[in-house]
Structure 1
Amino acid sequence: MIRRDSLQKIEVLLREFPAVAILGPRQVGKTTLAKSIARKLKNDVVYIDLERVSDQRKLVDPEIFFEANRDRLVLLDEVQMMPQLFAALRPEIDELRRPGRFLLTGSASPELVKGVSESLAGRIAYVELSPINLSEAKSSRYGMQRHWFRGGYPPALTAKDDPAFHRWADSFIRSYVERDLTLMFGVKLSAVIIRNFWEMLANGTGTILNIENYARALGISGPSVKRYLDYMEGAFLIRRLQPWFANVNKRIIKSPKVYVRDSGIVHALCGIPSVRELQGNIVIGGSWEGYVIEEIIRHLPANVRPFYYRTQHGAEADLILVKGMKPVACIEIKYSKAPVLKAGFYQCIKDLQTTQNWVIYSGEDNYTGREGILYTSLLYTLTQLIGKI
């Protein structure tokens, strides 16, 4: 099993909070990680898989079940399948407020599961488990090219070859399209629209969101596009990167940029069979940009937030890192061994007055260019720069 960076954090939170929830997309390894943590604990564990009808029946009266298992860690897997449990957890936790009583996993954002946030506020800690990141992959001897092409889902990364990766990815995509999103959120969603929209987002990953363009292409209304976006983001499949415009006296682009979060899913949705074929594909720039941004976000300190920046007069940066209300780093991302910067990036630095300015490119050398801008590799950024912000 690939060791996950989140393991230690979850163990610490279990010693501090009555309930800890591990959130993330399906097949990312939440259940495996939760079970491995449970095995390390000295107290007994009761495991409930809420996708099984037989296990759901055990919780017909959750008050009796929780009271009978107060001396055990209760592991509730895929808890969004029974959102009514959160209302039952609140009085049970208040009755016996002891750390480490409940460990939950979920594949849907709490904000979209009715009753979750208000029921357990102050009683639960949330940890997002993303697909395997680059440092985790490298610690298990998987190189960056393989990780970028196949993404971080364990079955994809560890597949014996690229055709096996594509077979897994096709099954994963089909499952989400035909079943998972509808089940997770308890709403009826069109499989055809989900599939077409997901493919459009993958082919345009990293572009500025234009609701009306997608509405026309899909034959649905603008509000329906927003609803599908909400559910896909709530299932941890896409990311909307918001623009930075606070305290900037400029005409700013204020629509978010949208990324399909896992690069392997991007390549599967775009029908790219191998790394070699990726090199000549138009999606490569957006794929690399999204891959780099996702890796950086996974490594950010808790007090640093990501944005992008673009003005109507051409100043732009792919990623802005903001500490408090102050931009501290401007980042440009280039899939090139000899990147050339446009004037807009220099204008961005001038607008935001950032002191840490980097170009993350596909080479391995680190060097300083014009106006002190650091040209650096992704791995060096993650291991040497992000932690010093």
Structure 2
Amino acid sequence: MIKRRLETELPKILKRSASVALMGPRQVGKTTLALDVTASTPAIYLDLEDPLGLEKIKDVAAFYAANTDKLIILDEVQRTPEIFTQLRGIIDRERRKGNKTGLFLFLGSASLDLLRQSGESLAGRIAYTELHGIDVLEYAGDDPQLLNRLWLRGGFPEGLLASSDSDSLHWRRDFIRTYLERDIPQLGPRIPAQTLERFWTMLAHNQSGILNASQLARNLEVSSVTIGRYLDLMVDLLLVRRLQPWTFNIGKRLVRAPKIIVRDSGITHALLNISQHNDLLGHPVVGASWEGFVVENLLSVAPSNVQPYYYRTSAGAEIDLILEFSGKEKWAIEIKRNSVPKLSKGFYMACDDIKADKRFVVYAGKDQFPLGHNIIAIPLPDLMKELLAYHNAQK
């Protein structure tokens, strides 16, 4: 088993909040993590996709009254958003009795924003956290061979830990099929599975690229509005990231469309039928895939107050990733797959445009070294450690 970093954080969050929502895509390990964390704590687990689980919480107040001495874990909670209104009264009554923390743990496969809309009635009574796919620090550390395996197979535990690349690819294809044929119809509007698979595959081909809704609409023979609806669904299900442009007024002509990233590199490769590391290295998507992999790994360890952006001007100034810390500090990050990073003039210009406080180039080598102009070349694991250290220093 791979120890997830959130294993040590989740108990702390439960000790300071009445309820906690742990979000993440299906099969990422939420249930396993929740049950492991609560192994030494009296708890009761209900799967709300199970008719029996739904039956048990028809009268939430009565169910809670029968289990007041236990942490109540509700899985796939996005299926019953109406429950939050009822839980507000329960939590407030317990608060008046002095029971202010560790009452409920919600697990869900939809975005934090979507759950926040459903859980407005729990404002001030709920903490949100996300379980990302297994990341470089959790699995590979400084081992380049393990890092490349993680990049190829992605961060879903079953796919990553399969006995071979072939078995991993089969698992990921089954995962995609299950989402298209069962999970998405349950959670979202009726969209033909074949159409949505084509859309998902188009996003994989254009991994880390700027959204061109008109082109996607022409290719799928649908409207741009429909493309927006498809994209919203994939973002809400935590399968795709919509990376917004940094567009604060600096008197320049900026690219304002979002950059689109299929969040798990293994799913990207399965959609493109890339089965082995050597096949990936020879594929046109290799650079874009690496960029998406780096972005997702960095965001998996970034503090919750970080806002991610990218930056691009019509004159060619560009930054692959900007991390803005509560509006106070900005890190500019360029992402290069090669082992000898070379920077274009556009990165220097962009760093000056946004007045970046720190400037990094993530590359495929093992050592940190300065590149001039306050820019540091840094391996991915090292920058992840810097972000974790920054996060811990802010606590």
Shared fold by TM > 0.5?
yes
The structure 1 residue matched to 2:75, chosen from 68, 74, 77, is: 77
TM-score, length basis structure 2: 0.93
1:333 aligns with 2:338: no
Long gaps (5+) in structure 2? none
**Aligned AA (1:228):** Y
1:13 aligns with 2:13: yes
In 2, Cα distance between the equivalents of 1:50 and 1:155? Answer: 23
Q: Which residue of 2 aligns with 1:149?
A: 152
Aligned identity (percent) is 42
In 2, Cα distance between the equivalents of 1:101 and 1:355? Answer: 41
Deviation at 1:223, TM superposition (A): 1.4
Q: Provide closer, same or farther for how the CA distance between residues 160 and 40 of structure 1 changes in structure 2, counting only shifts above 3 A.
A: same
1:272 aligns with 2:274: yes
- Whether contact under 8 Å (2:265, 2:293) holds in the other structure is yes
1:170 aligns with 2:167: no
TM-score, length basis structure 1: 0.94
**Aligned AA (1:173):** I
Deviation at 1:178, TM superposition (A): 0.9
In 2, Cα distance between the equivalents of 1:274 and 1:268? Answer: 10
In 2, Cα distance between the equivalents of 1:57 and 1:372? Answer: 60
- Count of residue correspondences: 386
The structure 1 residue matched to 2:380, chosen from 364, 378, 381, is: 378
C-alpha RMSD over aligned residues: 1.9
Q: Provide closer, same or farther for how the CA distance between residues 355 and 56 of structure 1 changes in structure 2, counting only shifts above 3 A.
A: closer
- Whether contact under 8 Å (2:47, 2:74) holds in the other structure is yes
Q: Which residue of 1 aligns with 2:53?
A: 55
Deviation at 1:156, TM superposition (A): 0.9
The aligned runs of 1:174-323 (5 Å cut-off) are: 174-185=177-188, 187-323=189-325
1:108 aligns with 2:106: no
Deviation at 1:67, TM superposition (A): 2.2
1:11-43: CA deviations, max 9, x gaps? 0111111111110000000000111122121xx
Q: Provide closer, same or farther for how the CA distance between residues 114 and 343 of structure 1 changes in structure 2, counting only shifts above 3 A.
A: closer
- Whether contact under 8 Å (1:327, 1:352) holds in the other structure is no
1:44-95: CA deviations, max 9, x gaps? 3221111111221112222221222222211111111222222221111112
**Aligned AA (1:329):** W
**Aligned AA (1:77):** D
- Whether contact under 8 Å (1:310, 1:316) holds in the other structure is yes
Q: Provide closer, same or farther for how the CA distance between residues 193 and 351 of structure 1 changes in structure 2, counting only shifts above 3 A.
A: same
The range that moved more, 256-265 or 79-88, is 79-88
The structure 2 residue matched to 1:93, chosen from 65, 68, 91, is: 91
Deviation at 1:379, TM superposition (A): 1.4
Long gaps (5+) in structure 1? none
Q: Which residue of 2 aligns with 1:30?
A: 30
- Whether contact under 8 Å (1:87, 1:115) holds in the other structure is no
